[in-house]
Amino acid sequence: MIGYVAGRIAQAVVVLWAAFTVTFVVLYLLPSDPVAIQLGAAGIETDSLTPQQLAAAKAQYGLDRPVLDQYWTSLTGALHGDFGTSIAKHVPVARLIGDRIGGTLTLSALAGLLAVVLGTGLAYLAAYVRVRPLRLLLDRLPALGVAVPSFLVGLALIQYFSFEVGWLPSAGAGGWRFLVLPVITMALPAAAQLAQVLGRSFAQTLGEQYIVTARAKGLSRGQVQLRHAFRNAALPALTIVGLLVGITVTSAIVVETVFNRNGIGRLAQESVLAKDVPVVQGIVVLAAAGFVLVNLVIDLLYPLLDPRITHTASAKGD
């Protein structure tokens, strides 16, 4: 068990390092001048500077040093939680993220909970219903949920619930009423993907021999699905839950832009448009850290759901 956890932690460290390094390297692979990009984020046009002014500006932002030196300084700072200072906002990156992360975490947690409830409920209902037309409808709903873009869902919800009936605010932040529409917008695509995977897993599990035996013992259809089928059918869906965490930042960018919320997603959009590399690096590493942490927890939960899975076997398989 200790060796397994140590191996997973080592993998997590490698993923975080790779995320940071790729973000840094991409800056120097862009067709434009990386120095001009970063100075442009600070509002400095390199074309209008004299050679002396350009040299002074580079020295001010540490851009006069070799690339490997800049990389090592950024990496060692990141290891201590210091991602430098925002070039565009002139504020420490850690403070920027800290000021905005609370709203995004609340939004993501509520959306994740709603997605699990909706996705699990839809998959369970689709497997339980025997009326063929209704079952086909329930089976097709997840595909529709995946196909419709999040921004379109958000705009449709705003149009009806804010402008037509006036029940909920269309944008901004405040009490719980400001969270309802963003949470639903973020939850629906995740719930649809979860329902797709869980629905297929239910269909496969319900054909297993032990399910036939359970039915032969006189258990009702609901008891068979809940007590016997759900536990094994949940394993593939649990993996999807981990993968969905990886796209939380992407969903937050869309949702927070549509609903005018100042969170990590909105900050990521602003930083990309402003070419504010330190902030982008901080957000990428934060998203990668959340991804690897959730997937580590999911790996540790697998044996609790299925005793046939052991950490020793997984470690050997790796």
> In order of start, what are the domains of the chain with their CATH numbers?
2-79 (no CATH), 102-274 (1.10.3720.10)
Query: Is residue 251 a contact partner of residue 186, using CB atoms and an 8 Å limit?
Result: yes
Residue-wise pLDDT for 1-15, tens only, equals 677 677 778 888 888
- Token pair 């500077």 is at which residue? 49
Residue-wise pLDDT for 196-249, tens only, equals 888 777 777 766 766 667 667 766 666 666 666 676 777 777 777 766 765 666
Q: Where are the alpha helices (DSSP H) in the chain?
A: 2-29, 34-41, 51-60, 67-79, 93-128, 132-147, 150-157, 177-205, 209-216, 221-223, 230-245, 248-258, 264-274, 277-305, 311-317
Q: Does the pLDDT value for residue 143 go beyond 50?
A: yes
- Token pair 């409830």 is at which residue? 117
Report how far residue 298's alpha carbon sits from residue 290's, in angstroms, rounded to the nearest whole number: 12
Averaged pLDDT, 60-66? 70
Averaged pLDDT, 71-92? 83
Report how far residue 137's alpha carbon sits from residue 141's, in angstroms, rounded to the nearest whole number: 6
- What pLDDT, on the 0 to 100 scale, is given for residue 313? 45
Q: Does the pLDDT value for residue 270 go beyond 50?
A: yes
Q: Does the pLDDT value for residue 131 go beyond 80?
A: no
Q: Decide: residue 24, CB within 10 A, 0-12 exposed, 13-18 middle, 19+ buried.
A: buried
Residue-wise pLDDT for 298-308, tens only, equals 777 766 666 65
State if pTM tops 0.85. Answer: no
Ordered DSSP codes for 70-83:
HHHHHHHHHHTT--
pLDDT confidence tier of residue 317, bands split at 50, 70 and 90: very low
- What pLDDT, on the 0 to 100 scale, is given for residue 316? 44
Torsion 59-268-96-283 (CA) sign: negative
- Rounded percentage of the chain residues whose pLDDT exceeds 70: 72
pLDDT confidence tier of residue 311, bands split at 50, 70 and 90: low
Least confident of 171-175, 245-249, 259-263, 278-282: 245-249
Q: Does the pLDDT value for residue 158 go beyond 80?
A: yes
Torsion 103-108-114-118 (CA) sign: positive
Q: What are phi and psi of 313, to 5 degrees?
A: -65, -40
Q: Identify which of 286, 119, 239 has the alpha carbon closest to the alpha carbon of residue 187.
A: 119
pLDDT confidence tier of residue 109, bands split at 50, 70 and 90: confident
- What pLDDT, on the 0 to 100 scale, is given for residue 28? 66
**For all residues of the chain together, what is the average pLDDT?**
77
Q: How far apart are the first and last CA of the chain?
A: 14
